[in-house]
Structure 1
C-alpha cells in the first residue's frame, strides 16, 4: 500500500528577518562643535532602527567624562567655519575661545538642540553603545569611574570587530 505524504506548504515557512543595519562611529575630538556630529548621527540611526555605536578615543573621551562633558569648548583657533570668524592669530587672544563657545551654546539653545549631557542621555536611552578606548584611557589616566553611566571600555581590536559588521563606518 502506498501512503501519500502531504506536500510542504511554503506559506508556513517563516521568511528570514533582514539583518539590522549598523553604524560605527569614531569620535576623537573633545570640543563642543565636535561632540554633536557623532551624537546626531548615532541617535538618528537608532531612531531608524539601526544598531549604533560610538568609539570615543583620545580627546573624544572628554565627551564621556563626567567632569568634562559639561565644559566642552569651541576653539576659534584654526576653526575657519567656527561661530566667530577670526584670523588664526586673533584666535589665540584671551577670551576668544570663551566667546566662540558662548555663541555656539546660544545657537544650539536657540535651535532647541539638547545640551551635550542631555544628548548623551537621550542617545544612550535609544540604545546607542558608547565605547571608551581602553588604550587612550590608560594614556590619559582616565578611569572607569570617570565615565558616564552606560559607557563600555573597549580596545581597538574589539571596536574593529564591531565596525567590521557595520553597514556604515565614519570617523567624525
Structure 2
C-alpha cells in the first residue's frame, strides 16, 4: 500500500509541475499520466480475479494513453515523448503476452504492465525541467514545424 501512495504522490507532483511549468506537450502528457492510473483503478477487475486473464479495462486505458503519447511524440519538438511512447508500448504489450500465454504468472503480468510507470514519471519530470531551462534561455517551440515531403517536389 505504501508503494501505491508513493506512486500517487510522485505522479501528482510531477504532473502538476508539468501542467504548471511545461509547454503544451508537457501539459498534455502530464494530464494524461494523471488520468490513466485513476481510470485503470476504476476499470480493473476486483482484487481476487485481478491479473488472472487479460485486464480488458486496463488494456483500453493503455491503448488510449499509447495513442496520446504517440501523437505527442510525432508532433512535439521534443525527444523525450518518444521514450514515453516506447515505455507505454512495452506496458501495453504485456496484455498481448498475457493473451498469448495464459501461464504467465500474475505478478509478472502486473509488473510488465505497471513497471514502466516509474521511469515515465521521471522522464516527464526531466523533460519539463529541460523545457523550463530552454524557455528561460530563449525559446522552446512546442511543436515541430510542418515540412512538405521532399519526395513530392
Whether TM-score is above 0.5 comes out as no
Q: State the TM-score, normalizing by the size of structure 2.
A: 0.29
- Structure with bigger gyration radius: 1
TM-score w.r.t. length of structure 1: 0.27
Higher helix share: 2
Q: Give 1 or 2: higher strand fraction.
A: 1
